[in-house]
Amino acid sequence: MSTQDGPLTETMTTPSTELIVAMEDAAAAARTPMWRRLLKDPQFVVTAGILIFIFMLGLLTPLLTQHGPNEADLSMVNAPVGTPGYPLGADETGRDIWTRLLHSINTAAISALIGAGVALVVGVIAGLVGGYFGKVTRAVTEWTFNLVMTFPGILLLIILMRVTGGDYRFTMLIFGVLLSPGIYRIVRNLVVGVKNELYVDAARVSGLGNLRILSRHVLFVVRGPIIIAGAFMAGSAIAVQSGLAFLGVGSIQIPSFGAMISSGFRNLYVAPTQFLWPSLMLGLITASLVLLGNALRDTLEGSKPKPVKVGRGQKVVERAETQQRDSTRLVEISDLGIAYRGPSGRAREVVSGVSLTIDRGQVVGLVGESGSGKTQTAFATLGVLPAEAIITRGSILFDGEELVGRTDKQMRALRGTAIAYIPQEPMSNLDPSYRVGAQLVEGVRAALGVSRKEARARVLALLERCGIADPVRTFDSYPHEISGGMAQRVLIAGAVASRPRLLIADEPSTALDVAVQAEILDLLRDLQAELDMAILLVTHNFGVVADICDRIVVMKKGVIVEAGATLDVFRNPHDDYTKMLLGAILDESTVRTDPAVVAPAEGAVR
Amino acid sequence: MLVYIARRLGAGIILALLVTFITFMLLSTSFEDVALTILGPAATPEVTAGLMAEKGWDRPAIVQYFDWLAHAVQGDFGESVYTSLPVAPTVMQRLLVTLSVIVPALLLTVVLSTFLGVWSASRGGVVDKISQGISLVGYIVPGLLLAIGLVVIFAVQLKWLPATGFTPISEDPGAWARSITIPVIVLTIGGVANMAAQVRGRMIDELRQDYVRTLRTRGISTTSIVIRHALRNAGSPALTVMSLEFISMFGGALIIENVFALPGYGSFAFNASLQGDIPVIMGIAAFGVLLVTVVNLTTDLANGWLNPKARVH
Amino acid sequence: MTLLDVSDLRVTFPGRGWRAKPAEVLHGVSLTVDAGETLGLVGESGSGKTTIGRAVLGLVRPSGGEIAFDGEEISSLKPRDRRHLAKDIQVVFQDPYTSLNPSLTVGDILAEPLVVQGATAKDARARVKTLLDQVGLPADAAERLPREFSGGQRQRVAIARALAPSPRLIVCDEPVSALDLSTQERVLDLFIEIQRATGVAYLFVSHDLSVIRHISHRVAVLYRGDLVETGTAAQVTLAPQHAYTQRLLLAAPVADPVAQRERREQRRLALAR
């Protein structure tokens, strides 16, 4: 059925409702160029400002000081703060502390430049090469960097003290090489990730050579993390150089924070302030670099994910008044509203006043496209909405009892016993570290409280009931050792173990091959009949609905547009949206009749 | 499995060979300086040449290296050129001192980091803010300043703990504990700063996984999910962090030993390097590499136990 | 006129892990695509249908057999020598969210294949405008980033990118599988409209029989690396000969309760045999 193709203006939604809110905010933020976002972040501005100021001081040293850094005036030994010509005093050999402080800034700056610079250059190039090119290259780079990384750097630097001759620049160069594996890892992982992206494949098909792909598509992704790593590495280099200087590694002619702290430490009782100045300066520089790195990370990589708070109940704005309802219904949802607070702070309603009922033993299909809110409704019934979700209004009655506003502990009593769930994607819903059987046993024991032996027996029986050929073998397998279809059967077995009154199935067959899909639907139908279970089937596939559901409820953008018996809705849809959806289903019989196009049509655009 | 272990040990041995070879080649340029240092004012060209011939330092570097290697694989790492004490036992003894500081610090770090990381990832709120604050402090304050600061407060002002010095555990466990307290605290703070943030990050990622929600729908308790499932999956990468942490603590310990006058590996290396005591330096390098290899191997095996997909059969 | 000729194509993938055995994913598949027609390639996961497409595009190296395009043998070409094929063979991938570089504007994405072929910036800009119009997107889309668009719209951008060098063959790898029902139909019709207007041929890969039926002239069915049936769309999708194709047909649920009940019965009977 051909429809008119005009410019698309409606906003189609993205796969997961939870992402919609975040993505819309992100789209708005996408327009602001990076540097402008950085300038808006006070943490960035302050720390960058401090660092620039300090390093300017270092650059302007000749103008700001009157003595040489190693100029020792024995008459000025341990001069106190405020002595004319020696604003911060003098150290134990009569050298001006202010001058040495400024020179130390330059030493630190050079250390940071060399150390971080070498690490970045070596790490980035190696990461690009190792990540992008073939297996052999990658194996070589891997091995080399593993080698470099396994040695305690400082020890090596000390051992090589004789060779470097104490020149801190050479030492920092070696240190940079020792730091490079960290950068290499980051870059290599990014490159490998990008390399497998479809848009790189598309670029190759478009004829781009490797170099262009690297520079255009890959380098861009790497940019942000490199800058961030650079900030942290600079801090690291300065800290290490100070540490080495403190130990006395290197020429004593070079003024550095480490050397100053060392002599200050020795003079702690005589003149405590000698220790204070270099410590403050070093601390200030390192702290600023770390905070700068954090600020960069927040801006360039987006906000960090927040803690998840697993055990919390769902947030409810106001508890619904518990009215006495018709208790013949198993589930009664009334005027349910669910909203999400996006990163910008605004609350967006994704479910707006949904009401539906499910009778005992009835199979209800909840149909809609992505973003319709169907999965959200299902999750709310289970009490497993994400922590960011807020139930703004409405009530969910299960067998006459109100679910909205229950604590997680109360909900847990129902979950796995009276209300069960099967997810969409079987593989990602099994814990990869545990054997399949163990996970099921854990669930059965939590729900029914039986002994381990008893639980195992039940699970094996269930696996067999759910069509798994060799239950014992599957019981002892890890999730990555079984197929998608088997995994889904396993999950179904786990769900029906306690003979639940309500099974919530979230697109249970979408991720499976069509033949397996049919088998899973058969299984569900059989189980439903055997256990007299009600099923809330969330799906976007009308074929599935036609196969198994007694009633259909159609949702669009958070509201219900139509509900009724399956046959009625299919044959006599009332709502325009429903009609549109049914019309968009591809015909079972229409085949392409126009011939292959040999020559372009008149007036074609080429 | 045995093949795997053999392979890793083999890689470690190759690394040891590489490191010791390079180190020796670099050090071989300074034989003459060392001879001069030993002889002091009595150094005339003939006497110096005589000493070098006597020690065998006038032979080509490669020959000397293989000579050293031949003895090393039999367990004979030579003697210090200054003290004439055998290298291997001294290095081991110094290593034990350093380890007696690092191992408690590492254990404390792991326990605290895991606790803080898991708590803040699964509860958020105040504890999360505190844990992030600790991380920040640990990052910002260089270990050096922290060490000195704590010494000033606890040893000098309050006189609760000794400022310097080390008592072996065999002599007096109580004194030993007191002598390592501040060093361990310093290392732990730095370690927790790094590790707690990592654990937290990985736990947050793990708790967002689909299987967590599915486990909840089975009615399994939150504690069980967080600790038995999420932590186990998050733990595997955390182990790798731990081995890196060990190596980094090793480096940090070197500086700490200087501040606290602990007779450990680091100060030993430092002095030997300063003096050019080549046999000692070689012994230090060799032992260092082997230690790191063992640590990495252990971590890999533990990783395999935790994470079935990474298991090598 | 035969445009694409695949004969006895074999592809082997190395095993995952240290010393795992390699696995042959395609066991000698032969098919042809004529100019201006759509060959639908249908199969389940693991059938190798995506691999065939990737081999034609040069993203996967065959371990046996030949692929000829317009008479020229292309399967053994080095990547550098394939570059001239970029203007003849293009691709539309399944995932609209990862097939467009998120950091480039739509205009840059569409201009890329043109610039590689040597177009000037001015020509590229003009062509981009035409392309956007052809796929039904507004002209100002060129300045926006992919993340500002929906899945269906992004897929249109991907189609526009494929059309940019005026190719003669487009490999479509499950291009509508990740889209909503209503968008699916619209995008499929767009594909058909473009074919009618430009005469481009499609190698259309999908697991969905009804999608294949809607858009293909001829259909080929793949099962575990073997071609089990080919024929016209009507033959294969309405009256299949091979048992596997029949199973596929019966397994797909019909969007009507009564019709579905009948199909279920048919399936039960077929499986009982």
pLDDT per residue over C107-119, tens digit each? 999 998 888 888 8
Segment A76-82 long-range contacts (CB within 8 Å, at least 24 positions apart) = A78/A267, A78/A270, A78/A271, A78/A274, A80/A271, A80/A273, A81/A273
A573: pLDDT confidence band, cut at 50, 70 and 90? very high
Alpha helices in chain C (DSSP H): 49-57, 106-116, 121-134, 151-163, 181-198, 209-215, 233-238, 243-251, 257-272
pLDDT at site A604: 40
pLDDT at site C100: 92
Average pLDDT, chain B: 80
Place of tokens 């070498």: A118
pLDDT at residue A279 tops 80:
yes
Nearest to C205 by CA among C221, C224, C225, C190: C221
pLDDT at site B125: 78
Helix (H) or strand (E) holding A449: none
Q: Which of A148, A158, A303 to mutate to test the interface with B (most CBs of B within 10 A)?
A: A158
Question: What end-to-end distance do the CA atoms of chain B give, in Å?
Answer: 6
pLDDT at site A602: 45
Helix (H) or strand (E) holding A90: none
Q: State the smallest CA–CA distance between residue A219 and chain C in angstroms.
A: 11
pLDDT at residue A603 tops 50:
no
A117: pLDDT confidence band, cut at 50, 70 and 90? very high
Chain B positions in Cβ-Cβ contact with residue A382 (cut-off 8 Å): 217
Q: Model pTM?
A: 0.83
pLDDT at site A8: 25
The shortest CB-CB distance from A581 to any of C182, C198, C209 is to: C182
Q: Of C52 and A586, which is predicted with more confidence?
A: C52
Residue A447 CA to residue A417 CA, distance in Å, equals 5
Question: What end-to-end distance do the CA atoms of chain A give, in Å?
Answer: 26
On the CB side of A382, how many CA atoms lie within 13 Å of its CA?
Answer: 33
The shortest CB-CB distance from B218 to any of A162, A408, A494 is to: A494
Residue A335 CA to residue A355 CA, distance in Å, equals 5
Q: Is the dihedral of CA C106, C107, C110, C111 positive or negative?
A: negative
The answer to whether the Cβ–Cβ distance between A543 and C252 falls below 8 Å is yes
B274: pLDDT confidence band, cut at 50, 70 and 90? confident
A444: pLDDT confidence band, cut at 50, 70 and 90? very high
pLDDT at site C228: 94
The shortest CB-CB distance from A154 to any of B221, B251, B259 is to: B251
Structural contact between residues A222 and A126, judged by C-beta atoms closer than 8 angstroms: no
pLDDT at site A150: 67
pLDDT at site A2: 29
CB proximity under 8 Å: A 572-591 to C: 580-582, 584-591
pLDDT at site C19: 62
Residue A447 CA to residue B219 CA, distance in Å, equals 6
Contact partners for chain A, using 3 or more CB pairs closer than 8 A, are B, C
pLDDT at site A580: 92
The answer to whether the Cβ–Cβ distance between A159 and B285 falls below 8 Å is yes
The answer to whether the Cβ–Cβ distance between C58 and A204 falls below 8 Å is yes
Helix (H) or strand (E) holding A169: helix A168-195
pLDDT at site A421: 95
Q: Which of C163, C181, C265 to mutate to test the interface with A (most CBs of A within 10 A)?
A: C181
Give, in order, the Cα–Cα distances in Å from B82 to each of A62, A64, B27, B38, B280. 45, 47, 16, 8, 10
Chain A positions in Cβ-Cβ contact with residue B269 (cut-off 8 Å): 155, 158-159
CB proximity under 8 Å: A 224-263 to B: 239, 242-243, 246-249, 258, 261
Residue C213 CA to residue C223 CA, distance in Å, equals 18
Give A589-600 pLDDT, tens digit per residue. 778 878 887 655
pLDDT at residue A11 tops 60:
no
Pairing mode, strands A419-422 and C64-69: unpaired
Structural contact between residues B13 and B1, judged by C-beta atoms closer than 8 angstroms: no
pLDDT at site B181: 83
Give the three-class secondary structure for A166. coil
Least confident of A226-235, B28-37, C43-52: B28-37
The pLDDT of C180-204, averaged and rounded, is 92
The shortest CB-CB distance from B204 to any of A149, A308, A446 is to: A308
The answer to whether the Cβ–Cβ distance between B215 and A443 falls below 8 Å is yes
Residue A592 amino acid letter: R
Least confident of A15-29, A211-225, B137-151: A15-29
A3: pLDDT confidence band, cut at 50, 70 and 90? very low
Provide the percentage of residues in chain C whose pLDDT is more than 90.
Answer: 59
Q: State the SS3 of chain B.
A: CHHHHHHHHHHHHHHHHHHHHHHHHHHHHHHHHHHHHHHHHHCCHHHHHHHHHHHCCCCCHHHHHHHHHHHHCCCCCCECCCCCCEHHHHHHHHHHHHHHHHHHHHHHHHHHHHHHHHHHHHHCHHHHHHHHHHHHHHHHCCHHHHHHHHHHHHHHHCCCCCCCCCCCCCCCHHHHHHHHHHHHHHHHHHHHHHHHHHHHHHHHHHHCCHHHHHHHHCCCCHHHHHHHHHHHHHHHHHHHHHHHHHHHHHHHHHHHHHHHCCCCHHHHHHHHHHHCCHHHHHHHHHHHHHHHHHHHHHHHHHHHHHCHHHCCC
Give A306-328 pLDDT, tens digit per residue. 777 776 777 777 665 555 555 66
pLDDT at site A18: 59
Which segment, A177-181, A306-310, B158-162, is predicted with the most confidence on average? A177-181
Query: DSSP per residue over A216-232, as a string?
Result: IIIHHHHHHHHHHHHHH
Those residues with Cβ within 8 angstroms of residue A449's Cβ, 6 or more apart along the chain or in another chain: none
Q: What is the dihedral of CA C106, C109, C110, C112, to 10 degrees?
A: 150
The shortest CB-CB distance from A599 to any of C82, C178, C199 is to: C199
The answer to whether the Cβ–Cβ distance between A370 and C233 falls below 8 Å is no
Contact partners for chain B, using 3 or more CB pairs closer than 8 A, are A
pLDDT at residue B214 tops 80:
yes
Q: State the smallest CA–CA distance between residue C28 and chain A in angstroms.
A: 23
Residue C53 CA to residue C4 CA, distance in Å, equals 11
Structural contact between residues A290 and A236, judged by C-beta atoms closer than 8 angstroms: no
Residue A566 CA to residue A548 CA, distance in Å, equals 9
Structural contact between residues A455 and A448, judged by C-beta atoms closer than 8 angstroms: yes
Question: How many other C-beta atoms lie within 10 A of the C-beta of residue B2?
Answer: 6
Question: What end-to-end distance do the CA atoms of chain C give, in Å?
Answer: 42
C17: pLDDT confidence band, cut at 50, 70 and 90? low
Least confident of B120-124, C16-20, C65-69: C16-20
pLDDT at residue C1 tops 50:
yes
Nearest to A277 by CA among A56, A101, A109: A101
